[in-house]
């Protein structure tokens, strides 16, 4: 009997609809930022249920976070609060602007930003908070927004994992923060290959982001090159960036967005099967969404409990030996050389994140997994922990 094929940690779900939309874009003659990127922005606002929202398509969530903070005038001398339990992109954009990062610990159960630690970390230089909705579970936004209001702080949500997730019954992206940024990277809940979306109710913020995403030019190429009158003139009003989303990428997004709820339901079903399959193991299953709310289930993060017969690294080795791809989310920023050394950080300063890091493994969870694939992962984890 031949061995089962390797089951990857993540795989995008691309159908005939996406392929046809991309082919249509190629045949249209307009492949960079143009009509489909604009349509994707409109469709995204409609998906969130409020077409008055300002949506700015960008080539990555990193770009979106950078643009949002730049538009909020974060700069040298300022400090921005970021959870240590995140990917470096959440923090690095603060440094792009010459500001400093204040890393704080997370809630031990959810691995989301802990409001108690946020309040304690606020100082005279604090200007903004960047919550991360870890794994697709919304952070405690009511508490974080209340803290921000009390202290006059800006809030930019890193929602790279959180489409579609809800907080207090409202979709992430429609809350009272200054901006929310989604990711459409290859392994995210919907994908454009590379890409992201900045969402805001602040018209001035959106206008600034649109200018800065394309070299600080006051008119984008689509407007100039499709004008019925000579449209070659433009003005550079700021030293901007190259952060625009192409129509080729937006074509994928247009069709992926139509499937977002179906994808979420399949991810939730896989998570439920994992919860059942791991119930008797020496492991801590992910925190569920509060009653009435929705978890996006971008990640399924299992944590080894005290008394587990192997450590995390051995578990990963056994899963790979069984042909199961997996990952670790994340190596906390306080353990990364740049952040550790710049801010003189120590693991003891972040007990919840550091303890979780040493125990956690992210398992495959994507819509294309069959029930057999899911059962194979369950059995491999059970075998590895016996």
Let me know: does 112 contact 289? Beta carbons within 8 Å: no
Query: Measured between alpha carbons, how far is 328 from 300 in angstroms, rounded to an integer?
Result: 11
Q: Look at the block and give the residue holding tokens 């992962």.
A: 377
Main-chain phi, psi angles of 335, to 5 degrees: -95, -10
Q: Spell out the residues 6+ positions from residue 192 whose beta carbon is closer than 8 angstroms to its own.
A: 184, 245, 249, 250, 252, 253, 256
Q: Residue 163 half-sphere exposure, CB side, CA atoms within 13 Å? A: 30
Is residue 258 annotated as part of the catalytic site, yes or no? no
What token pair was written down for 15?
Answer: 């159908």
Residue whose tokens read 């994928």: 252
Residue 261: left (phi > 0), alpha (psi -120 to 50), or beta?
Answer: alpha
Query: CA 28 to CA 124: how far, in whole Å?
Result: 53
On whether the CB atoms of residues 362 and 326 are closer than 8 A, the answer is yes
- Nearest residue to 339 via CA among 74, 62, 98, 101: 101
Q: Which of 71, 40, 73, 76 is nearest to 55 (CA)?
A: 40
User: Going by C-beta distance under 8 Å and a sequence separation of 6 or more, which residues neighbour residue 146?
Assistant: none
167 beta partners: 170
Q: Which residue among 36, 188, 207, 258 is the active-site one?
A: 188
Using N-to-C axis directions, what is the helix angle for 61-71 and 203-212, rounded to 10°? 120
Chain centroid to CA 325: how far? 20
Looking at 48-84, list the stretches that DSSP marks H as alpha helix, in order from N- to C-terminal side.
61-71
Check: CB of residue 298 under 8 Å from CB of residue 12. no
Is 88 in contact with 120 (CB distance < 8 Å)?
no
Residues 360/302, Cβ–Cβ less than 8 Å? yes
Active site residues: 188
């Amino acid at each position: 009997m031949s061995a089962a094929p390797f089951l990857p940690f993540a795989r995008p779900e691309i159908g005939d609809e996406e392929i046809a939309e991309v082919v249509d874009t190629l045949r249209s003659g307009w492949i960079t930022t143009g009509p489909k990127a604009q349509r994707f922005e409109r469709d995204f606002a409609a998906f969130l249920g409020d077409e008055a929202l300002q949506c700015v398509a960008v080539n990555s969530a990193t770009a979106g976070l950078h643009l949002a903070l730049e538009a909020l005038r974060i700069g040298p001398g300022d400090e921005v609060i970021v959870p240590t339990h995140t990917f470096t992109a959440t923090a690095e954009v603060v440094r792009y602007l010459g500001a400093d990062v204040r890393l704080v610990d997370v809630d031990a159960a959810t691995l989301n930003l802990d409001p108690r630690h946020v309040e304690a970390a606020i100082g005279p230089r604090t200007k903004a908070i960047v919550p991360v909705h870890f794994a697709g579970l919304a952070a405690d936004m009511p508490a974080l927004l209340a803290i921000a209001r009390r202290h006059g702080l800006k809030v930019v949500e890193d929602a790279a994992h959180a489409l579609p997730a809800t907080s207090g019954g409202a979709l992430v992206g429609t809350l009272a923060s200054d901006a929310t940024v989604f990711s459409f990277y290859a392994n995210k809940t919907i994908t454009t290959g590379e890409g992201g979306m900045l969402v805001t109710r602040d018209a001035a913020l959106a206008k600034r982001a649109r200018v800065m995403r394309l070299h600080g030019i006051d008119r984008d190429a689509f407007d100039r090159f499709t004008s019925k009158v000579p449209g070659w003139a433009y003005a550079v009003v700021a030293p901007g960036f190259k952060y625009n989303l192409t129509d080729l990428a937006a074509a994928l997004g247009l069709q992926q967005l139509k499937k977002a709820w179906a994808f979420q339901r399949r991810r939730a079903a896989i998570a439920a099967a994992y919860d059942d399959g791991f119930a008797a193991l020496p492991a801590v299953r992910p925190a569920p969404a509060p009653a009435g709310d929705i978890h996006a289930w971008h990640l399924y993060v299992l944590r080894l409990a005290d008394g587990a017969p192997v450590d995390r690294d051995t578990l990963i080795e056994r899963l790979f030996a069984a042909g199961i791809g997996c990952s670790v989310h994340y190596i906390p920023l306080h353990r990364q050389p740049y952040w550790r050394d710049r801010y003189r950080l120590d693991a003891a300063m972040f007990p919840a994140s550091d303890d979780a890091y040493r125990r956690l493994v992210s398992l495959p969870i994507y819509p294309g997994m069959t029930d057999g694939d899911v059962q194979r992962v369950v059995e491999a984890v059970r075998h590895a922990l016996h």
